[in-house]
């Protein structure tokens, strides 16, 4: 608790940090509310800018964009029936009917309240959980670390994506691409094919922008209708349609708290993400409801449940990253890249080093302040934001985003080769998305691969028993066993689903 108070003291003593938090909240809400844009895409485009920023400023901006973007997706879901983020798809089920029933303000304010409460509960779990887990893993050696990385590869491969095989292929592709450049231990050049620019390996920034921005824009351009922009259809406003009454408030609070717990638990598990949490909470609360027939017709609880669970994922998804060095989501993988760029080594040691500890708790404080900021923006201004976005034609918006991508890719290292890498990554990201291959699994594998290889080879050098050392270390064996159990469970679940479809 003292460290967190020190984090707030650091944050409030730095006016620029506060400015970045407020600005990031505005940007995040706008990005999340714009159909076709995602928080991951916005963060990927901004990564080059963070190279020249103070580490705390960079992390504060990125984490608040991610948080505000999750909420912003509810604006598009409610106003346009087009979820701004994948996780907001569950919000459309009751949010848009509320809008059409003349209750847009009520729906948006419910989303703001539920999002903020869920996010706050998730962040409390992050703050206390990350420190506790890191303290348990302080004695990890290279053997245990490689077992953690191997478990992460297998779990992410099997959980993310349309199938286990495609998940494994995407992860394998990420590992292969990460091997381009210098060897992890000896420094010899691999897989450069005589191309000088590949001798140093591929940089994270152009891959990020290509996979998550260019590929997303290509998908959107392919599916975009010929209309100038999203259209908000608001029914005739009814009494109390723009405010939450006290009885309604009393109804949504228990739903919000229960859904926040569901989202927090799911957030800890790598690869599941906000979409799973939102639909899980929605389904659970609909089952508990005394009037399940009202759900899907504009039930206020149907907005509160997915929004609370969706945002509660935000904090806990960072726990594996900070405590173990394993990103549990796409945004966590991007933030890992930013941490490494700034020389901050994640894992158990992050809380032992005084400088990194101070930055991390400042980062926690920025996240909590960001929640308050986007709540105020959303509660009082979400309707205005939705109406502005409805008037923004994509034929003007998308060219600016493309241009920003090229500038961002070049600016990271002032290298034209990175622009070519971005274009190629964008093309392959588009192909992967169309084929059901997970770009998130690819990115996480790319970020972790070199460190995993280093830990694997280091453990073999330190062992006289070769690969059998992984059977001698109980912790390593437990992580490998956990990964295999998840793999077997997913295979069995897939077989069950296929047999049910065949019937």
- Examine the pLDDT at 235 and tell me if it is beyond 60: no
Report the sign of the C-alpha dihedral through residues 470, 475, 477, 481, in that order.
negative
Per DSSP, helices labelled H in 342-462 are 354-390, 394-413, 416-435, 439-462
pLDDT band at 254; cut points 50, 70, 90: very high
Residue 493 CB neighbours (<10 A): 12
- Examine the pLDDT at 225 and tell me if it is beyond 70: no
Give the pLDDT confidence score for residue 196 in this predicted structure: 82
pLDDT band at 118; cut points 50, 70, 90: very high
Average confidence score pLDDT of the chain: 80
Q: 25-54 pLDDT, tens per residue?
A: 998 888 888 766 777 777 877 887 887 788
Q: 142-152 pLDDT, tens per residue?
A: 787 788 788 87
- Examine the pLDDT at 329 and tell me if it is beyond 80: no
> How is residue 54 written in tokens?
């103070």
206-218 mean pLDDT? 82
Considering only the C-alpha atoms of the chain, give the largest distance between any 2 of them, rounded to a whole number of Å: 77
> How is residue 188 written in tokens?
């010899």
- Examine the pLDDT at 336 and tell me if it is beyond 60: yes
Q: 96-105 pLDDT, tens per residue?
A: 888 888 888 8
DSSP 24-80: HHHHHHHHHHSTT--HHHHHHHHHHHHTTS-HHHHHHHHHHHHHHHHHHHHHHHHHH
- Examine the pLDDT at 300 and tell me if it is beyond 80: yes
Residues 6+ apart with CB under 8 A from 441: 156, 157, 160, 161, 167, 170, 171, 174, 271
Give the pLDDT confidence score for residue 372 in this predicted structure: 93
106-110 mean pLDDT? 89
Q: Find tokens 């069995």 and name the residue.
A: 492
- Examine the pLDDT at 134 and tell me if it is beyond 70: no
pLDDT band at 500; cut points 50, 70, 90: low
Distances in Å between the Cα of 489 and the Cα atoms of 386, 440, 482, 485 are: 42, 21, 11, 6
Any idea what DSSP says for residue 135? H
406-418 mean pLDDT? 81
pLDDT band at 3; cut points 50, 70, 90: low
Please tell me the distance from the alpha carbon of residue 467 to that of residue 472, in angstroms, as a whole number.
10
- Examine the pLDDT at 111 and tell me if it is beyond 70: yes
Give the pLDDT confidence score for residue 139 in this predicted structure: 67
Q: 377-390 pLDDT, tens per residue?
A: 988 887 777 777 76
> How is residue 365 written in tokens?
């404080």
Q: Which helix (H) or strand (E) holds 480?
A: helix 474-502
- Examine the pLDDT at 120 and tell me if it is beyond 90: yes
Q: 473-484 pLDDT, tens per residue?
A: 787 888 788 778
Choose the most confident range, by mean pLDDT, from 196-200, 202-206, 304-308.
Answer: 304-308
Residue 305 CB neighbours (<10 A): 37
Beta-strand relationship, 181-182 and 189-190: antiparallel
- Examine the pLDDT at 119 and tell me if it is beyond 60: yes
- Examine the pLDDT at 116 and tell me if it is beyond 90: yes
Give the pLDDT confidence score for residue 113 in this predicted structure: 93
Give the pLDDT confidence score for residue 373 in this predicted structure: 93
What three-state secondary structure class fits 182? strand
Closest CA to 443 of 214, 178, 201: 178
Task: Give CA angle at 266 (263, 271), nearest 5°.
Answer: 125
Helices then strands, counting H and E runs in the chain, come out as 21, 2
pLDDT band at 502; cut points 50, 70, 90: low
Any idea what DSSP says for residue 190? E
Please tell me the distance from the alpha carbon of residue 461 to that of residue 463, in angstroms, as a whole number.
6
Residue 399 CB neighbours (<10 A): 11
> How is residue 198 written in tokens?
């590949």
First to last CA, the chain: 56
Contact present, 115 and 370 (Cβ < 8 Å): no
Give the pLDDT confidence score for residue 256 in this predicted structure: 93
pTM of the model: 0.78
Please tell me the distance from the alpha carbon of residue 356 to that of residue 358, in angstroms, as a whole number.
5
Give the pLDDT confidence score for residue 156 in this predicted structure: 75
Q: Name the residue with higher pLDDT: 9 or 160.
A: 9
């Amino acid at each position: 608790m003292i460290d967190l108070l020190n984090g707030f003291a650091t944050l409030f003593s730095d006016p620029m940090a506060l400015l970045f938090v407020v600005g990031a909240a505005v940007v995040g809400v706008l990005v999340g509310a714009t159909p076709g844009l995602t928080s991951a895409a916005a963060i990927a485009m901004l990564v080059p800018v963070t190279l020249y920023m103070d580490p705390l400023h960079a992390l504060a901006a990125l984490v608040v964009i991610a948080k505000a973007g999750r909420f912003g997706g509810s604006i598009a879901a409610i106003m346009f029936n087009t979820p701004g983020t994948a996780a907001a798809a569950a919000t459309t089920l009751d949010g848009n009917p509320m809008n059409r029933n003349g209750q847009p303000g009520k729906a948006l304010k419910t989303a703001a309240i539920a999002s903020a409460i869920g996010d706050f509960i998730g962040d409390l779990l992050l703050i206390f959980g990350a420190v506790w887990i890191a303290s348990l893993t302080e004695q990890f050696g290279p053997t245990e670390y490689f077992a953690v990385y191997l478990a992460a590869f297998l779990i992410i491969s099997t959980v993310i994506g349309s199938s286990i095989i495609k998940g494994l292929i995407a992860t394998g592709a990420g590992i292969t691409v990460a091997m381009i450049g210098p060897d992890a231990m000896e420094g010899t050049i691999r897989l450069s094919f005589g191309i000088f620019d590949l001798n140093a390996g591929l940089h994270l920034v152009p891959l990020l922008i290509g996979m998550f921005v260019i590929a997303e824009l290509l998908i959107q351009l392919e599916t975009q209708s010929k209309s100038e922009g999203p259209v908000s259809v608001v029914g005739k406003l009814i009494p109390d349609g723009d405010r939450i009454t006290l009885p309604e408030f009393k109804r949504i609070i228990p739903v919000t708290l229960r859904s926040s717990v569901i989202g927090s638990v799911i957030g800890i598990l790598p690869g599941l993400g906000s979409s799973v949490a939102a639909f899980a909470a929605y389904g659970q609360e609909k089952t508990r409801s005394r009037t399940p027939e009202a759900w899907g017709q504009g039930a206020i609880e149907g907005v509160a449940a997915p929004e609370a669970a969706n945002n509660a994922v935000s904090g806990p998804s960072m726990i594996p990253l900070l405590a173990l060095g394993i990103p549990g989501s796409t945004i966590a993988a991007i933030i890992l890249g930013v941490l490494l760029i700034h020389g901050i080594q994640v894992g158990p040691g992050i809380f032992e080093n005084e400088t990194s500890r101070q930055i991390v708790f400042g980062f926690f404080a920025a996240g909590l302040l960001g929640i308050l900021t986007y709540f105020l923006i959303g509660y009082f201004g979400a309707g205005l934001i939705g109406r502005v976005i409805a008037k923004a034609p994509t034929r003007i918006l998308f060219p600016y985003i493309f241009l920003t991508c090229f500038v961002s890719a070049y600016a990271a290292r002032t290298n034209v080769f990175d622009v070519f890498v971005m274009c190629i990554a964008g093309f392959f990201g588009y192909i992967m998305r169309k084929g059901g291959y997970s770009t998130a699994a690819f990115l996480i594998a790319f970020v972790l691969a070199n460190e995993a290889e280093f830990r694997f080879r280091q453990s073999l050098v330190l062992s006289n028993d070769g690969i059998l050392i992984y059977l001698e270390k109980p912790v390593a064996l437990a992580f490998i066993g956990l990964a295999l159990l998840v793999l077997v469970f997913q295979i069995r679940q897939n077989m069950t689903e296929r047999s049910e479809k065949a019937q």
